[in-house]
């Protein structure tokens, strides 16, 4: 029984306006919950709740399905209920300046400690000089100096008296003290000394040698006395400094007595100030006599030394409660793990702990970090350093590539900060699958997959939630409310975007853009409410903006440049349908498929594969076609044919198996010498049992062929054959539905190849009889299958005759017995 075309009610599933239950979206409450992502919601809720190691989250789904907004909603809700994490700061390490110390402080108090230390340095710059300029300090230091002078004068005075008694003078020279002989109270010259009697000279020399030994002994005491003096001065300075700074540090320690880390640091600061008190004192007289450039350089270094007492707050949580939520939009390695900045000083780059800057890991520590996976993977070193931080549970600030040994320049090595964080990566499903397959560490660190679906079931409940969501989006964006007719059209478009009349897309980005564009068109006509016509105009306008290539192809088909017939009948020629995707716009493109057959060795040649313009899936479809042919017509002997299939005027890659039905119809038409109606186009894949299977893009394919036929004029004999399993996916344009309703265009849903070939040729396919199908006798007379079987049987007999005669099926004689490959 011949198939009848599909009725109009099966070509489109409308959204009844009377079932929406509202007039405009202003009547609907806000929809804060994500629609159609129950599985993803459960996964995110689980990933946030579990605190075990490695249970970080990867939110996988197509762009625009609301992954980021859902993640932020759930994380924000969870973070608000968690305690505020600790603050972190870096302080100078007085034992090892190249390794700054990390300081943990109670949440929200780091800035207070930073300001307290700044005030302490300011106070010390005033209090310490004042203490050292006081009368008490001056008196005590003068006493120490006087004591040293008195001891020195006493020691050398005794030697001087003894020398004078023995006629020897103690003379001070520019280099040191020296002894010289005297006579009558005057130092005598060497010439006069040589004129003295020998006994006297000898006696004086012995006396001078003895005095010289005593003098040298006293001179050797001078360094020790100077050290003692310096030590006493140092003790005095420390005592005065301790007096000046001690009570202020003690006050700070009282304020921070609940923070042991701060108390320890304050003790270190106290010791450093006492030890390096000169940092707080004004320039000495010797310093003021230096050249101005050198004085400025030394003064700059002094300012840097004062920075050692400051506090570099890395992360402070003084604003707000709860755990932090950080969304890192530019995940470079420094932005993720932190960086150490440098300053130019006197022609060199210098740094210190105050130039350490936090990364996203530090800001999100104790909370949640959200990163786009693709952006992260595009940044050098960022992904590996993030994994290292999660694996080691610490945030270590390093220069990019330092972990790889690329940079060897000496720099700071800040103490790593313990890490307690939940990381959420957001990306396409393919990114998740590739990382899972190629990176074992990824599987250990991101154990929770939140799988976002691209579609949801079309039910009254989901339609209602979608309507509320559209209303919420309109209010948040300051758009006009949507009339229920506009919502109904948006729901129908959501089904079209899902390529399924029983499903709705979850790509909320596309629906959001749709209502924004509809709001624009409503505003153009001065309306206060968005109507169905506005939504339709938005759809049509967007299509017009993006369909230049489709329009050009349609024009070339209409002009006859691209050969596609839409009337008449031809054997071995059929219209196949493909979908081209250009950006976000997809459209159907009809293509002519032709087949030629001859006697041969049972091979079906895929020309596209031979010239490497056919993809693997297309080649698979041709091989399945060969399997079907051999199973149906090769039971009583080998197939003695060679056939070639090709997409005419194709100049790029052809892939997918949706043309396998069309190719099989063309092959059967050639073998049966039965013309195919050129007003019909075919899409669908076939299996080895001859069943027609579903394909994608059915709406675009039907509309693509319809546009070609409409441009030439609809005759009422034109249409498209689609798989019966694709009927539920139909959401066709209104003009296509109108033409079908008027009988000017037809859509047939076929389940088997036999049904399709009967529609295409108008000849029954025929069913096999119980007596068998040898030589075509088992098929009904005049059927397509009988014609095919009979021709193949004739070729088989001819091949056997040629082999017995010493020839073969090859060699070709130009009239159907051409050689095979």
Residue 294 token pair: 């050198």
Partnered with residue 89 across adjacent β-strands are 103, 313
Question: Whole-angstrom Cα distance, residue 611 to residue 135?
Answer: 103
Buried b (16+ CB within 10 A) or exposed e, 144-165: beeebeeebeebbeebbeebee
SS3 529: coil
Using CB atoms within 10 Å of the CB of residue 817, give its burial: 0 to 12 exposed, 13 to 18 middle, 19+ buried.
buried
742: left (phi over 0), alpha (psi -120 to 50) or beta: alpha
Question: Whole-angstrom Cα distance, residue 30 to residue 24?
Answer: 13
Partnered with residue 339 across adjacent β-strands are 357
Residue 531 token pair: 């109507």
Q: Of 248, 250, 241, 235, which is closest to residue 281 (Cα–Cα)? A: 241
* DSSP alpha helix (H) spans, 578-697: 607-610, 616-633, 660-672
- What are the residue numbers of the active site? 658, 701
Question: Whole-angstrom Cα distance, residue 670 to residue 632?
Answer: 16
Q: Of 594, 575, 593, which is closest to residue 712 (Cα–Cα)? A: 575
Q: Up-side HSE of residue 73: CA atoms within 13 Å toward CB?
A: 12
DSSP per residue, 102-127: EEEE-TT-HHHHHHHHHHHHHHHHHH
Give the pairing type, strands 685-686 and 692-693. antiparallel
DSSP per residue, 647-678: ETT--S-B--STTHHHHHHHHHHHHHT-PEET
What residue ranges in 384-491 does DSSP mark as E strands? Answer: 394-395, 417-418, 422-427, 448-451, 455-457
Using CB atoms within 10 Å of the CB of residue 789, give its burial: 0 to 12 exposed, 13 to 18 middle, 19+ buried.
buried
Distances (CA, A) of 738 to 39, 69, 727, 745: 39, 40, 17, 9
Tokens 């945030």 identify what position?
395
Question: Whole-angstrom Cα distance, residue 610 to residue 223?
Answer: 99
The residue length of the chain stands at 821
Residue 521 token pair: 């068109």
Using CB atoms within 10 Å of the CB of residue 415, give its burial: 0 to 12 exposed, 13 to 18 middle, 19+ buried.
middle
Question: Whole-angstrom Cα distance, residue 306 to residue 508?
Answer: 56
């Amino acid at each position: 029984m011949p198939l009848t075309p599909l009725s109009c009610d099966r070509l489109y599933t409308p959204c009844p306006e009377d079932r929406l239950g509202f007039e405009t979206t202003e009547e609907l409450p806000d929809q804060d919950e994500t629609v159609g992502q129950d599985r993803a919601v459960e996964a995110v809720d689980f990933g946030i709740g579990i605190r075990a190691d490695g249970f970080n989250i990867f939110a996988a789904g197509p762009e625009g399905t609301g992954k980021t907004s859902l993640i932020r909603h759930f994380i924000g809700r969870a973070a608000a209920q968690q305690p505020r994490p600790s603050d972190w700061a870096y302080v100078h390490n007085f034992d090892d300046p190249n390794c700054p110390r990390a300081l943990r402080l109670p949440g929200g108090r780091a800035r207070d400690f930073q300001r307290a230390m700044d005030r302490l340095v300011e106070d010390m710059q005033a209090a310490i000089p004042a203490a050292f300029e006081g009368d008490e300090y001056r008196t005590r230091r003068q006493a120490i100096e006087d004591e040293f002078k008195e001891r020195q004068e006493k020691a050398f005075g005794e030697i001087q008296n003894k020398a004078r008694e023995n006629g020897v003078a103690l003379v001070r020279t520019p280099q040191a003290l020296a002894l010289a002989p005297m006579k009558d109270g005057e130092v005598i010259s060497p010439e006069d000394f040589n004129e003295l009697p020998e006994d006297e000279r000898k006696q004086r020399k012995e006396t001078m040698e003895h005095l010289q030994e005593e003098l040298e002994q006293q001179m050797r005491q001078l360094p020790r006395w100077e050290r003692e003096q310096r030590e006493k001065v140092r003790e005095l300075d420390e005592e005065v400094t301790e007096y000046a700074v001690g009570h202020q540090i003690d006050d700070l320690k009282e304020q921070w007595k609940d923070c042991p880390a701060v108390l320890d640091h304050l003790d270190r600061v106290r010791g450093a100030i006492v030890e390096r008190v000169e940092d707080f004192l004004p320039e000495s007289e010797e310093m003021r006599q230096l050249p101005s450039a050198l004085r400025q350089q030394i003064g700059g270094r002094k300012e840097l030394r004062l920075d050692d007492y400051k506090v570099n707050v890395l992360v402070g949580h003084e604003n707000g409660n709860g755990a932090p939520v950080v969304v890192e939009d530019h995940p470079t390695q420094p932005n993720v793990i932190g960086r150490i900045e440098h300053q130019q000083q006197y022609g060199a780059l210098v740094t210190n702990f105050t130039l350490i800057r936090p990364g996203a890991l530090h800001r999100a520590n104790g909370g949640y970090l959200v990163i786009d996976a693709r952006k992260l993977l595009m940044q050098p070193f960022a992904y590996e350093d993030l994994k290292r931080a999660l694996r080691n549970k610490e945030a270590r600030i390093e220069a990019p590539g330092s972990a790889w040994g690329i940079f060897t320049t000496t720099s700071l090595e800040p103490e790593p900060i313990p890490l307690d964080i939940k990381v959420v990566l957001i990306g396409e499903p393919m990114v998740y699958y590739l990382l899972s397959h190629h990176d074992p560490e990824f599987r250990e660190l991101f154990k929770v997959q939140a799988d976002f679906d691209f579609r949801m079931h079309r039910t009254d409940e989901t339609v209602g939630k979608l309507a509320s969501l559209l209303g919420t989006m309109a209010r948040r964006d300051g758009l006009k409310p949507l009339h229920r007719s506009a919502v109904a059209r948006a729901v129908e478009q959501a089904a079209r975007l899902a390529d399924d009349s029983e499903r709705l897309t979850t790509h909320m980005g596309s629906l959001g853009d749709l209502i924004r564009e509809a709001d624009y068109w409503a505003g153009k006509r001065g309306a206060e409410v968005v109507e169905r016509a506005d939504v339709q105009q938005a759809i049509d306008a967007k299509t017009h903006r993006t369909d230049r290539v489709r329009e050009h192809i349609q024009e070339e088909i209409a002009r006859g440049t691209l050969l596609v017939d839409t009337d008449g009948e031809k054997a071995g020629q059929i219209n196949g349908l493909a979908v081209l995707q250009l950006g976000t716009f997809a459209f159907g493109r009809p293509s002519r498929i032709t087949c030629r057959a001859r006697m041969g060795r049972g091979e079906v040649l895929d020309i596209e594969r031979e010239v490497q313009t056919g993809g693997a899936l297309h080649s698979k479809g041709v091989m399945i076609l060969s399997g079907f042919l051999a199973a149906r017509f090769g039971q009583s002997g080998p197939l003695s044919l060679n056939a070639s299939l090709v997409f005419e005027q194709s100049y790029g890659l052809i892939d997918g198996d949706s043309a396998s039905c069309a190719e099989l119809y063309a092959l059967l038409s050639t073998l049966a010498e039965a013309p195919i109606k050129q007003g019909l186009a075919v899409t669908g894949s076939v299996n080895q049992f001859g069943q027609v299977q579903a394909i994608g893009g059915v709406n675009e394919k039907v509309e693509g062929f319809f546009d070609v036929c409409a441009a030439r004029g609809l005759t009422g004999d034109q249409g498209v054959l689609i798989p019966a399993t694709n009927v539920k996916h139909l959401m066709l344009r209104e003009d296509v539905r109108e033409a079908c309703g008027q009988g000017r265009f037809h859509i047939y849903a076929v389940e088997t190849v036999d049904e399709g070939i009967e529609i295409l040729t108008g000849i029954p396919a025929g069913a096999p009889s119980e007596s068998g199908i040898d030589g075509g006798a088992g098929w009904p007379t005049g059927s397509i299958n009988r014609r095919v079987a009979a021709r193949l049987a004739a070729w088989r007999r001819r091949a056997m005759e040629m082999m017995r005669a010493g020839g073969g099926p090859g060699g070709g004689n130009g009239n159907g017995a051409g050689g095979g490959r």
